Amino acid sequence: MNLTSKQRAYLGSLANTIDPIFQIGKSSLTPEIISAIDDAIEKRELIKVAVLKNCIDDPKEIAAVIGERTHSTVVKVIGKKIILYREARKNPKIKLPQ
């Protein structure tokens, strides 16, 4: 899904109020983390993920892999925080601006 800059800004502003619900550490991405992130995105649509200091992988690369494997859109990568969005298949909650 391609987002416009207006939609990215809107989702970024919504993400300001939420805390990261996942932390990626030394073991980096595992299939369990990917599965859990996929489930969380389906329920919440917009989530934030934190990459810890002991993770040797680049947050932008991690974001790209998560986005590809969960079929979600990377809204922003700010430092070691990743914001992901995917519209829920059932009962979408977030209405994006046109």
Overall number of domains in the chain: 1
pLDDT of residue 89: 84
Q: Yes or no: say if 52 and 35 are a contact pair by the CB < 8 Å rule.
A: no
Q: Yes or no: say if 42 and 88 are a contact pair by the CB < 8 Å rule.
A: yes
Considering the domain boundaries, does residue 47 fall inside one? yes
Give the dihedral sign, CA 86/91/94/97: positive
Considering the domain boundaries, does residue 69 fall inside one? yes
pLDDT of residue 95: 87
pLDDT of residue 84: 96
The CATH number of the domain where 40 resides is what? 3.30.110.60
Domain enclosing residue 61, as ranges = 5-85
pLDDT tens digits, the chain, 98 residues: what are they?
A: 788 999 999 999 999 999 999 999 998 899 999 999 999 999 999 999 999 999 999 999 999 999 999 999 999 999 999 999 999 888 888 888 88
- Note the helical H segments in the chain: 5-15, 31-44, 59-70
Considering the domain boundaries, does residue 98 fall inside one? no
Considering the domain boundaries, does residue 71 fall inside one? yes
How many CB atoms are located within 10 Å of the residue 50 CB? 17
Considering the domain boundaries, does residue 62 fall inside one? yes
